[in-house]
Amino acid sequence: MRGRTVATVLTATALTAVAVSASPAVAAPALHLPEPTGRQPVGTTSLYLKDTSRPDPWVPSVNARELMVSVFYPARSAHGETKRYMTPVESKALLEESGLAGVPPDVLSTVRTNAIVDAPPVTRRPHSIPLVVLSPGFKKSRATLSSLAEDLASHGNIVAVVDHTYENVATTFPDGRVTTCVACGDYNDAFWHKLQWGRGADVSFVLDELTGPRSKWRGANLIDPSKIAMAGHSVGGASAVQAMLGDTRIKAGIDMDGMTNVPLPAPGLSRPFLLLGRQNTYTPGTPGGPAASWERDWPLLTGWKRWLTVEGMEHPTFTDVGVLAGQYGIDFGATIDADRALEITRTYVRAFFHLHLRGRPQPLMAAPSPLFPEVTFHG
């Protein structure tokens, strides 16, 4: 599966499939992210980071790689202003790219979130909290992984969600600039190699900035540099492999529903890795590229590994897109309730990181659970 077909599988599926089902709403419902499930209040801040060691890979005339990163973290207090989900400009761009008609263009800027802007980080001893990096799907905003980030932070993790500039339909910078998707266009093997390895470089730079002595975030000294992991959705999940190959600081990784266009090179990857996908696409033996790409790479994952699929899920149900579309009454073909899909994603991702970053036994990672009959173990 190549060219635009691959791009459709990885990106456009997230919302374009619902365009035919979306009808103009009489009044936009009050959209909100489900509350985090942990006991800790969640704080958040936005960081502007500039890597002057390399030009931008998509716009070479820009002599530095600029990134926006949202950091979520356990906080001391739940009082204060909650984070804006995205700007009206970003909302309009995402909805237009998704092909939705009859939806107010600024509706995603009204989503109610749960994280408190610039709340004081929790008081802990230095270097005591794990760090998880999240990477969104191609063309998608870092905001679309907010529910997962909030939940992980509420359970005592620091989470950095990266916008990969010029790969998202709209990224807003502190000076008011809005970059668009320069990377969008024709897609071939060389493109996916560039995209995924470039995301690996972005993640390494973010780790440098967060864990280095001159970090711009006041809670940076809380990060345990020996407990760093990564997860991503779609191409963000596929890029976790490249990030781990290029940076040994990343101890464990998760690919959520992302076809691995770049083959895993020998001798492979010996650190823990979770493949988590929809049953109708990533079950072993399913015809087509996505499942075959995981089957190709599976033998080269030589450390702890699991291959799980979830019945009834579609591509966007691993992200906020599924929940917010469900609240709006949009049907994109999933046969599982959107809130249940998010519960499964949050629970299994959290269990994986608790096992591999904290060393806590996790029965969910050992065998199928009667609490989650939708989840099938394939290895």
Cα radius of gyration (the chain): 19
- The residue-averaged pLDDT of 130-149 equals 98
Task: State how far Cα 46 lies from the chain centre.
Answer: 16
Paired tokens of 194: 């560039």
Tens-place pLDDT, residues 105-135: 999 999 999 999 999 999 899 999 999 999 9
> How far is residue 29 from each of residues 115, 198, 291, 325, 356, measured CA to CA in Å?
21, 38, 37, 11, 39
Asked whether 199 and 243 are in contact (CB, 8 A), the reply is yes
- The residue-averaged pLDDT of 81-87 equals 97
pLDDT surpassing 50 at residue 5: no
pLDDT surpassing 50 at residue 22: no
* 278 phi/psi in degrees, rounded to 5: -80, 145
DSSP classification of residue 301:
B
Tens-place pLDDT, residues 326-364: 999 888 899 999 999 999 999 999 999 999 999 999 999
CB < 8 Å & 24+ apart, contacts of 53-58: 54/201, 56/165, 56/166, 57/194, 57/198, 58/165, 58/166, 58/167, 58/182, 58/183
Q: What is the pLDDT, as a whole number, of residue 28?
A: 65
Domain definitions of the chain by residue range: 3-377
Asked whether 117 and 214 are in contact (CB, 8 A), the reply is no
pTM of the model: 0.93
Q: Looking at the DSSP assignment, which residues form a beta bridge with residue 301?
A: 269
- The chain-wide mean pLDDT, for the chain, equals 92
Tens-place pLDDT, residues 355-374: 999 999 999 999 999 999 99
The sign of the dihedral angle between the CA atoms of 317, 328, 13, 44 is negative
User: pLDDT class for 77, splitting at 50, 70, 90?
Assistant: confident
Measured CA to CA, the distance from residue 15 to residue 145 in angstroms comes to: 15
Q: Which fold, 3-377?
A: Rossmann fold (3.40.50)
Written in H, E and C, the secondary structure of 136-189 is: CCCECCHHHHHHHHHHHHHCCCEEEEEECCCCECCEECCCCCEECCCCCCCCCH
Tens-place pLDDT, residues 277-317: 999 999 999 988 899 999 999 999 999 999 999 999 999 99
Tens-place pLDDT, residues 44-72: 999 999 999 999 999 999 999 999 999 99
- The residue-averaged pLDDT of 201-221 equals 94
Residue, of 268 and 18, whose pLDDT is higher = 268
User: pLDDT class for 13, splitting at 50, 70, 90?
Assistant: very low
Percent residues over pLDDT 70 in the chain: 93
User: pLDDT class for 27, splitting at 50, 70, 90?
Assistant: low
Strands 223-233 and 250-256: parallel
**How many other CB atoms are there within 10 angstroms of residue 370's CB atom?**
5
